[in-house]
């Protein structure tokens, strides 16, 4: 295991210079699949995170009945509409997207499980997988074989426990994560006080930004959107994970300075994301 601190120098070495003569189609089209009926907050936060990534286009796939919330909260995002109240993959054509993030308040019903399987089978490129998508993978172990290689999973400890089972101590936890990343050839972002990124090659990146104020509902949705947008920008999965975690934490530090760790909300983070 090789442990690497995420420094400003590392971040500078990973950043892609933006083409000053480019248009929106040059900067990638991201898709977020999220938000069952009554849970549009997660979709809004994920969308706002993606819109701060620098991607040229963003589409959010949500239940049709909830469309007005997204259109008002995120007018820069386009919509793909599902006839069901939960994700069912109806009318979803994935070929036009450069990156997909799935899971934020998605729901864990049978139809959604089937739709997630179809999505992973159809979109062979790396995806960002979070929240209810992780819970579906934990509930339906056979689904895990369809996770696209080099995808980025972003669990907090509760989701990680459901995926990997109980661990005895921190060392056992690290070993379980490393084995999981190598088995499926994926990246795992273990969200905690010192967020860590595990790679299939055995590297562990330790984030150096962030604070306790980020530990509030919705922060992870923003991170999912941000990393998805970076993938759409043509960043490799490892770089997208590193940049997303670093800038998400850095924005949280700025939000804490502005509002204080106690008073800041997850939505405040999006106002301070600066890549």
Number of neighbouring beta carbons within 10 Å of residue 129: 27
> What would the two tokens of residue 101 be?
């993030």
User: For the chain, percent helix, then strand, then coil, each to nearest 5?
Assistant: 45, 15, 35
In the structure, what pLDDT confidence band is assigned to residue 92 with cuts at 50, 70 and 90? Answer: confident
pLDDT the model gives residue 275: 95
What mean pLDDT do residues 10-38 have? 96
Task: Give which of 81, 107, 103 is closest to 92, Cα–Cα.
Answer: 81
Q: Which residues contact 18 (CB under 8 A, 6 or more apart)?
A: 27, 54
* Residue 228 main-chain phi, psi, to 5 deg: -60, -45
DSSP symbol at 78: E
Q: For residue 133, what is the enclosing H or E element?
A: helix 131-139
pLDDT the model gives residue 58: 98
For the entire predicted model, the pTM comes to 0.97
What mean pLDDT do residues 72-98 have? 91
What mean pLDDT do residues 105-111 have? 94
């Amino acid at each position: 295991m090789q442990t690497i601190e995420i420094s400003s120098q590392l971040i500078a070495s990973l950043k892609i210079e933006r083409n000053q003569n480019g248009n929106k189609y040059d900067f990638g089209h991201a898709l977020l699949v999220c938000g069952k009926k009554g849970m549009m907050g997660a979709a809004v936060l994920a969308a706002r995170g993606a819109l701060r990534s620098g991607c040229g286009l963003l589409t959010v796939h949500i239940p049709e009945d909830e469309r007005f919330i997204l259109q008002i909260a995120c007018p820069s995002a386009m919509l793909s509409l599902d006839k069901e109240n939960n994700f069912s993959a109806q009318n979803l054509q994935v070929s036009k997207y450069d990156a997909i993030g799935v899971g934020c308040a998605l729901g864990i019903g049978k139809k959604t499980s089937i739709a997630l399987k179809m999505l992973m089978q159809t979109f062979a490129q790396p995806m960002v997988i979070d929240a209810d998508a992780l819970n579906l993978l934990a509930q339906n172990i056979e689904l895990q074989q369809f996770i696209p290689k080099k995808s980025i999973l972003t669990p907090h400890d509760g989701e990680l426990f459901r995926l990997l089972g109980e661990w005895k101590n921190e060392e056992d936890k690290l070993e379980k994560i490393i084995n999981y990343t190598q088995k499926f050839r994926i990246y795992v972002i273990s969200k905690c006080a010192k967020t860590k990124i595990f790679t299939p090659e055995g590297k562990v990146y330790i984030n150096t930004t962030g604070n306790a104020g980020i530990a509030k509902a919705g922060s992870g949705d923003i991170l999912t959107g941000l990393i998805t947008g970076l993938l759409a920008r043509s960043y490799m999965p490892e770089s997208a994970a590193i940049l997303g975690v670093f800038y998400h934490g850095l924005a949280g530090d700025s939000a804490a300075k502005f509002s204080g760790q106690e008073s800041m909300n997850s939505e405040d983070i999006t106002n301070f994301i600066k890549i």
